Amino acid sequence: MSTLSKEKGKVKRDSRKKVEEQGAGAKLWSWIKTLVGAIIVVTIINGLAIASFVVPTPSMEKTVMTGDFLFVNKFIFGPSTPQVIPFFNIPLPFFKFPAFREPQKGDVIVFIFPGNRDEVEATEFQYYLKRCVATAGDTLEIRDNHLFVNNKEYKLAKNGFYDPSVSDIPSEKFQTFPYGKNYTRDNYGPIRIPKEGDIIPISMSNLHEWAVFIQREGHKISSDGYSIYIDGNKAASYKVQRDYCFGMGDNRDHSLDSRYWGFIPKENIVGTPVIVYWSWDTNMALAKFFDKIASTRWSRIGTLIR
């Protein structure tokens, strides 16, 4: 074989290799663009229309079950920009659009957890699911485990229940809200759900009751032992800036809810669950694949949430 033929063969091989490398690079770039596009689409849909939620606890049993996967309607209470980047849970700047209607008593709601009773900000970004039992301006009271809203007994939801066997436990693991009131799970209130424009008297006797609430609304509150100061100004009252609601689990005696960590800002409400699209034992490891599949609750799939 002549030297010229060898050189031609080498040129062809080099050319083919270069084409293959370019093809691999193009495929990788195409895959990256597809992935980024998918993330953007999921982010938009998740922010504006439909979101997915997995039920982590039995607090709403039997309305929803631990391990139910739910589609959540975000349009009804006002679509919002995404709160986090999907898959990475990185917080984003937040904006909420006008609602089609306001949350009402009896609605099952998914919301951003506002934080534990004594936290100004939640230590971790989490979604919670409860039933809205009272809205801004309502007065709520629990008497011997019976719930009253505006002095009228609030009937249990269709699937709601309480367990008489545990209703008389005298001490509780978690402190109830608000600080200093010493309410119990079964005898709570009366308490008014704050409404925008409400004027709350503030004094040394109820400072601890309202301090975290006022800070959550973005203000600094302090005291010199005699007087109270909000944003550096002496104050004897506080004007509420937002509407709130009160959430409870349908499984009342096994639910950590507004009785323990307080009011839910209306802006924190993400939507209402619509339907169960999958359900299985979320505590079972994926490594036990066949057992995991066997744990699927086929009868739950397609269940409408009310």
Could you tell me if 258 and 149 lie in one domain? Answer: yes
Q: Judge if 86 and 168 occupy the same domain.
A: yes
- Do 143 and 70 share a structural domain? yes
Say yes or no: 92 and 172 in one domain.
yes
Look at the chain and report how many structural domains it folds into. 3
- pLDDT the model gives residue 181: 92
Residues 139, 257 within the same domain: yes
Q: Are 154 and 91 within one domain?
A: yes
131 is a domain residue: yes
Write out the DSSP string of 160-201.
-B--GGGTT-S--SSPPSSTTS---SSSEEEEEPP-TT-EEE
Q: Is 253 a domain residue?
A: yes
Would you mind telling me the total number of residues written for the chain in this entry?
306
The verdict on whether omega for the bond into residue 62 sits within 30 degrees of 0, i.e. cis, is yes
Say how far apart CA 207 and CA 188 lie, in whole Å: 20
Question: Cα(44)–Cα(272) distance, rounded to whole angstroms?
Answer: 18
Residue 82 is predicted with a pLDDT of 65
Q: Which stretches of the chain are assigned E, i.e. beta strand?
A: 50-54, 68-73, 84-85, 90-91, 108-112, 127-135, 139-143, 146-149, 152-153, 188-192, 199-201, 221-223, 228-230, 233-235, 237-239, 244-248, 264-265, 269-279
Q: What's the pLDDT at 216?
A: 97
User: Which CATH number characterizes residue 253's domain?
Assistant: 2.10.109.10
pLDDT score recorded for residue 26: 73
Q: Is residue 305, in this structure, part of any structural domain at all?
A: no
Task: Name residue 248's amino acid.
Answer: M
Whether residue 83 sits in one domain with residue 138: yes
Check whether residue 126 and residue 267 sit in a common domain. Answer: yes
Query: Is the same domain home to 113 and 220?
Result: no
- 189: nearest Cα among 236, 239, 248, 241: 248
Q: Is residue 150 situated within a structural domain? A: yes
Verify that 77 and 154 share a domain, yes or no: yes
Query: Is 234 among the domain residues?
Result: yes
Q: Which domain holds residue 22?
A: 1-46
In a domain? residue 41: yes
Do residues 71 and 50 make contact, with C-beta atoms less than 8 angstroms apart? yes
Split the chain (306 residues) into runs of 10 and give each run's mean pLDDT: 55 55 69 70 61 86 88 84 63 73 94 95 92 98 96 78 42 77 94 98 95 97 96 97 97 92 95 92 87 91 91
Do residue 2 and residue 130 come from a single domain?
no
Alpha carbon of 75 to those of 41, 47, 144: distances in Å? 17, 9, 37
- Does 306 map to a domain? no
Q: Are residues 97 and 219 in the same domain?
A: no
Within-domain flag for 145? yes
